Chain A
Amino acid sequence: MAYDAVGAILLAGVTLYAVLGGADFGGGLWDLLAGTTAQGRAPRALIDESITPVWEGNHVWLVFDLVIFWTAFPHAFASVMVGLALPLWLALAGIVLRGSGFAFRKELTRLSTQRAAGATFAFSSLVTPFFMGTVVGAIADGAVPADATQASLAAWTSPTALLAGFLFVAACGYLAAVYLVGEATSRGDRGMRVYFARRAQAAAIVAGALSLAALLELRNSNQLVFDRLTGRALPLVVVAGVCGLAVFALLALGRPRGIRVIAALGVAAVVWGWGIAQYPVLLPGTSVTLSNAGAPESTMVAVIVVFIIALLLVGPSSALLYTLQGRHLLGAGEHAALPAAVPAGYRGQPGAGSGRPHSPPRRLPGPAIRSAAFGVVMLAAVIRRLRRR
């Protein structure tokens, strides 16, 4: 019972990291694809302003998840860390470069160094979710042995794991674009709303296609998890699909109210679907379950107590943070206050809320749809290759 509760706590932590931290990585994806310096100014500004005060708090969910994982399920943790060492190292490199690149870009003033820091931030925002995805894919695939002593390349380069990697990137981009639509709406910035609505729709198509592909691939690689996903976890799979379709439809109708919650719910349903499909096994394909992964019951009690205290302290605190952020009460650093910091013509930018007719978004849906279409074709090709194997 206590073991199940801690399993649920871990899954809740993973969910929160996915829907909060994942969106921060997705912001990096859209920063990367925002185009040239002049073109990308408005979206980059919106991304930066919405990520800045919250990304560190969101990032802590990862640390929290790691700690719960090793405290409550140390044997499974050690096996994952040994067996999937390489993708974990790469994800970690992405975390370091993403955070430092993002923080450095703010303080740099020269265009060239800003671009270097920005590119580091944006590119590593793809690296981390991809490799985290391969790790989760490899676990779901049953590629991690109970007593791993050597890292395995095959474990995380299987079709399932790679598809999961791409799925994570797409899901992060999807969440970020949806949140940014909400952010732009609350700022009354129509240009950016349309801009990110297109991208959210494109990302929704790609993420949806990748989810289906990963699901089908799982049927080959891990029949048990597949059966459960289409069995006892089916309601959650359906919820995920419905949420995705609802967001897509609301965006098409231009009614972004509530889409942030629906999109997060969709991603949460995927995470919980995965968890319920695996339950009570921690490492599919082995006999490592929630209750025999190496920790005594007293540890579980301690974890539950810490989690309850964490909820009581962290819940109101993050509510405060998000409320202040939502009311746009958290601005940039010292320099921002100085009127001279505002370049001439700033008021004309869409970010300022006046939405001049020459704002870039009008031109941009084209490339976004093109890249989405390209992505879907590439994906179809990959899936066909994988199916033939």
Chain B
Amino acid sequence: MLDVAAQVVPARAQMATTLGFHIILACLGIALPTFVLLAEFIGLRRQNGTALLLARRWSQAMGVLIAVGAVTGTVLSFEMGLLWPGLMRRYGSVLGFPFAVEGLFFFLEAIFAGVYLWGWHRLAGWAHWWSGVPIAVSGIFGAMSVIAVNSWMNQPGGFTESDGRITSVNAWQVFFNRAASYEMPHMILAAYMVAGFLIAGIYATGILRGRRDRYHYAGFAIGFVPAAILTPFQILVGDTAARSIASDQPVKFAAMEYVARTSRQVPEWIGGVYVNGNIYAGIRIPYLDSLLVGFGPGTRVIGWDSVPPTDRPPVVWLIHLAFDVMVGIGSLLLLWGLWAAYEWWRRRRLPPRRLFWWAGAVSGLAAIVAMECGWIVTEVGRQPWVVYQILPTADAATTNGGVLTSLTLVIVLYAVLGVITIAILRMLSRRWRRGEAEAPVPYGPFPAPPDRASTSPRDADAGKAGR
């Protein structure tokens, strides 16, 4: 008989790896369709060949990303049972409902992606655009459903249990639990920021390399403008979320802010590593934490001493630093967006300074890092519980051995998958830049029957737009 607890750490590591990888693709799956549709909308509305070309190319990249996202998402569905059978056995009937709703939207997304991605040639302009709208809409609702599950794990409710059996479930209360109101907007905005800043980052890199043409500026703007507009809203939502966590999950909040003892006039720590009761290399701002939580220095903030040591999350410094990195990146992105807004307001142009474009080049990666840090805060911060104060993670993990093996294989497989995905996206971009037509495909299938493809008027337009 294997030690059950021995499987918990590798199981958590594997879930973190696969979720951390998939969440990037999920963000793109949720938000990228909107950006593609925006570009196509501009292209169709203003007869703008550049925007139309951008939309077409992005949708080709989206095809790859949605496919990889679909399979890595399936991995997570399997892992719910393969890694966490204890969770599913007890609460599958409760948290299954939002997943079923998610499946519904996943269907719509996949079906209309099939129409939109492969319908560029033979569907008329606006008909094609409308075929993409359900992808964007179901992306948002699908995200809401999945986040409903995660927020339910943070604030479980909507069910009754007796003798370890679920006796009734209120699907509505499960879906719209206490934490859903702040987790849902926070993550959906994050998805839009990740996608927008990633697009902006790609074209900012091109501009830095001297490709200062209409195509690159248009690509940058279509990604940057919506993401920068959403950034202040995201910070507001995040602030509300942190305050709600201070009351809903005080121990998680204590770890985020290094509140060891319940007290008033609590200082805010920026950075710093917590080791054995001492905080090294942190900046201490007196009273600020109390001010942020309750708008007054006298506000009482609950520390992690309110629960026994076994009920506290491990590695508080990881939670705290992840939180600080997320907030820091969010603030920098806000400043960067304000810089552009100011320059546009005064001079009707984007800042010409190289620093602005360097910031642009890293903004996509920064947004991803911030989003991953947010997940570290919410997931590590909930430990040792998988369902907050109801089910310990150790009781949920699989009793099978060999999780370390699957973890190793998953890391290798995902590394390869990630490298190939990025390589293919780069290859696509190089091919587009050379403006070259597709090389003859000797092995694989032929792209399309030539008789219809070469006579379609839409394609002739795209050919012109492609210079």
Q: Which residues of A contact B (CB under 8 A)?
A: 37, 41, 44-49, 52-54, 56-57, 59-60, 62-64, 66-68, 70-72, 74-75, 77-82, 85, 88-89, 92-93, 95-96, 98-100, 102-109, 111, 114-115, 118, 149-151, 294-299, 302-303, 306-307, 309-310, 313-314, 317-318, 320-321, 324-325, 328-343, 346-347, 349, 351-353
Contact of A150 among B110, B399, B438, B456 (CB under 8 A): B399
Quick check: A59 and B110 within 8 Å, CB to CB? yes
Quick check: A88 and B82 within 8 Å, CB to CB? yes
22 contacts between A and B (CB under 8 A): A47-B445, A53-B115, A56-B113, A63-B103, A74-B89, A82-B85, A95-B75, A96-B417, A99-B70, A100-B67, A103-B68, A114-B443, A299-B171, A329-B122, A337-B453, A338-B459, A339-B450, A341-B448, A346-B446, A347-B451, A351-B449, A352-B451
Closest CB in chain B relative to A61 CB, distance in Å: 8
B167 contacts across to A, CB distance below 8 A: 296
Smallest CB-CB separation from B92: which chain A residue?
A74
Quick check: A107 and B64 within 8 Å, CB to CB? yes
A338 contacts across to B, CB distance below 8 A: 437-438, 459, 463
B399 contacts across to A, CB distance below 8 A: 82, 149-150
Closest CB in chain A relative to B40 CB, distance in Å: 13
Closest CB in chain A relative to B71 CB, distance in Å: 4
B59 contacts across to A, CB distance below 8 A: 333-334
Q: Report if A103-B64 is in contact (Cβ < 8 Å); known contacts: A44-B445, A59-B74, A72-B96.
A: yes
**B306 touches A (CB below 8 Å):** no
Q: Report if A336-B448 is in contact (Cβ < 8 Å); known contacts: A95-B71, A298-B170.
A: yes
Contact of A317 among B68, B108, B446, B456 (CB under 8 A): B108
Which residues between 421 and 458 of chain B lie within 8 Å of chain A, taking CB atoms? 421, 424, 427-428, 431, 437-454, 456, 458
Give me the 5 closest cross-chain CB pairs, A-B, nearest first: A71-B96, A74-B92, A81-B81, A103-B67, A336-B447
Closest CB in chain B relative to A253 CB, distance in Å: 29
Quick check: A151 and B107 within 8 Å, CB to CB? no
Inter-chain pairs besides A41-B443, A95-B74, A318-B111, 10 sampled, C-beta below 8 Å? A44-B445, A59-B70, A63-B106, A64-B100, A78-B81, A150-B400, A299-B171, A303-B97, A320-B111, A333-B59
A49 contacts across to B, CB distance below 8 A: 445
Q: How far is the CA of A53 from the CA of B74 in the complex (A)?
A: 18
Quick check: B424 and A104 within 8 Å, CB to CB? yes
Q: How far is the CA of A264 from the CA of B284 in the complex (A)?
A: 68
Quick check: B70 and A45 within 8 Å, CB to CB? no
Q: How far is the CA of A45 from the CA of B165 in the complex (A)?
A: 53
Give the secondary structure class of A's interface.
helix
Q: Report if A334-B420 is in contact (Cβ < 8 Å); known contacts: A44-B445, A60-B103.
A: no
B441 contacts across to A, CB distance below 8 A: 109, 114, 341, 343
Contact of B450 among A47, A96, A306, A352 (CB under 8 A): A352
Quick check: B64 and A89 within 8 Å, CB to CB? no
Quick check: B171 and A56 within 8 Å, CB to CB? no
What is the count of residue pairs linking A and B with beta-carbon distances less than 8 angstroms?
Answer: 333
Q: How far is the CA of A333 from the CA of B431 in the complex (A)?
A: 14
Smallest CB-CB separation from B79: which chain A residue?
A92
Which residues between 74 and 100 of chain B lie within 8 Å of chain A, taking CB atoms? 74-75, 77-78, 80-82, 85-86, 88-94, 96-97, 99-100
**B63 touches A (CB below 8 Å):** yes
Q: How far is the CA of A93 from the CA of B413 in the complex (A)?
A: 9
Closest CB in chain B relative to A97 CB, distance in Å: 8
Quick check: A313 and B104 within 8 Å, CB to CB? yes
Q: How far is the CA of A333 from the CA of B443 in the complex (A)?
A: 17
A104 contacts across to B, CB distance below 8 A: 64, 420, 424
Q: How far is the CA of A100 from the CA of B75 in the complex (A)?
A: 13
Quick check: A71 and B92 within 8 Å, CB to CB? yes
Contact of A332 among B73, B75, B91, B447 (CB under 8 A): B447
Quick check: B119 and A343 within 8 Å, CB to CB? no
Quick check: B424 and A108 within 8 Å, CB to CB? yes
B106 contacts across to A, CB distance below 8 A: 60, 63
B91 contacts across to A, CB distance below 8 A: 74
**B114 touches A (CB below 8 Å):** yes
Q: How far is the CA of A100 from the CA of B92 in the complex (A)?
A: 29
Closest CB in chain B relative to A94 CB, distance in Å: 10
Q: Report if A335-B438 is in contact (Cβ < 8 Å); known contacts: A60-B106, A111-B443, A149-B399.
A: yes
Smallest CB-CB separation from B105: which chain A residue?
A313
Quick check: A105 and B424 within 8 Å, CB to CB? no
- Digitize B274-288: 1 where CB-to-A-CB distance is under 8 Å, 0 elsewhere: 000000000000000
**B133 touches A (CB below 8 Å):** no
**B120 touches A (CB below 8 Å):** yes
Q: Report if A336-B64 is in contact (Cβ < 8 Å); known contacts: A89-B406, A314-B104.
A: no
Contact of A67 among B96, B437, B459, B462 (CB under 8 A): B96
Quick check: A56 and B118 within 8 Å, CB to CB? no
**B168 touches A (CB below 8 Å):** yes
**B101 touches A (CB below 8 Å):** yes
Q: How far is the CA of A44 from the CA of B421 in the complex (A)?
A: 23
Quick check: B445 and A74 within 8 Å, CB to CB? no
Q: How far is the CA of A114 from the CA of B85 in the complex (A)?
A: 39
Quick check: A56 and B81 within 8 Å, CB to CB? no
Closest CB in chain B relative to A335 CB, distance in Å: 4
